[in-house]
Amino acid sequence: MKYLLEVREVSKSYGEERILDAVSLVLEPGKSLAITGQSGGGKTTLLSIIGLLQQATSGAVIVDGCDAGGLEPSRQAALRSACFGFVFQRARLIHSLTALENVLVPAWLTRAGKAAEVRARELLGRFGLEERLHYRPQELSIGQLRRVALARALLLKPKVILADEPTNDLDPAIAAEVADCLLETCGSGAGLILVTHDPGLAARADINLHLQQGCLFEQRRTVHA
């Protein structure tokens, strides 16, 4: 089996404090994985190590068969932009750009060209934002911002989507819509790792993991007869 991603015994400490303790997981193509756990438990830290935004203290992250730890920073950055789409806890949009331009930022970095603009418009349309293409972030609601960030994450068809509390602070209807959009991406073979406090969303993922005191446990679902 070729995994999209393997995390092998990753540990992370800040000074004396150990945040992650020999955490391992694998992600297969087309699968979704939900990570739950207490606030301050290290979920965001784990996502940022997986997404090659931060170094682990020890352990390995294997992305698409390549051990990222052994790569030079520029090769790591290339692997990151080729493989990952990020939906951060805060949307992190650029305020001077419109919704459409924000979605296109990853394409500017890779020179993906006109096809990227067609896809950006299509994604924003799919997320119900066709009327808002030229609005700036300050003219959009939280749910709309989140959907713009999601379109940006999906623009270059990443192999792995990393989403940090993507439905937090959203009203239930919009949360459901964002969740649908995220889970839909697995249909095309992408892998999804999402961090959430929402048990309903976690239950929709293929695998549930729980981070507790730095260790990751698989949670079995209770099957009701």
Ligand X SMILES: Nc1ncnc2c1ncn2[C@@H]1O[C@H](COP(=O)(O)OP(=O)(O)O)[C@@H](O)[C@H]1O
- Interacting residue with Mg ion among 44, 48, 58, 81 (CB under 5 A): 44
Q: What is the DSSP letter of 185?
A: G
Q: How many CB atoms lie within 10 A of CB 98?
A: 19
Q: Which residues bind ligand X (CB under 6 A)?
A: 14, 19, 37, 39-45
Please choose which of Mg ion, ligand X, none residue 19 contacts, taking the beta carbon within 5 to 8 angstroms, the exact cut-off set by kind: ligand X
Q: How far is the CB of 29 from ligand X (least distance, A)?
A: 26
Q: How far is the CB of 86 from ligand X (least distance, A)?
A: 14
Q: Which is nearer to ligand X, 151 or 193 (CB)?
A: 193
Q: What is the CA radius of gyration of the chain?
A: 17
Q: Which is nearer to ligand X, 165 or 177 (CB)?
A: 165
Please choose which of ligand X, Mg ion, none residue 85 contacts, taking the beta carbon within 5 to 8 angstroms, the exact cut-off set by kind: none
Q: Give the length of the chain.
A: 225
* CB-based contacts of 107-110 (< 8 A; 24+ apart in sequence): 107/155, 107/156, 109/81, 110/81, 110/156
Token output for 217: 């446990």
Please choose which of ligand X, Mg ion, none residue 41 contacts, taking the beta carbon within 5 to 8 angstroms, the exact cut-off set by kind: ligand X
Identify residue 151 by its one-letter amino acid code. A
Could you identify the residue written with the tokens 């000074």? 15
Between CA 68 and CA 73 the distance in angstroms is 9
Q: How far is the CB of 41 from ligand X (least distance, A)?
A: 4
Q: Which is nearer to ligand X, 15 or 113 (CB)?
A: 15
Q: Which is nearer to ligand X, 39 or 96 (CB)?
A: 39
Q: How far is the CB of 87 from Mg ion (least distance, A)?
A: 12
Q: Which is nearer to Mg ion, 165 or 177 (CB)?
A: 165
CB neighbour list of residue 51: distance below 8 Å, 6 or more residues apart: 80, 84, 86, 162
Q: How far is the CB of 37 from ligand X (least distance, A)?
A: 6
Strand partners, 86: 162
Binding site for Mg ion (CB under 5 A): 44
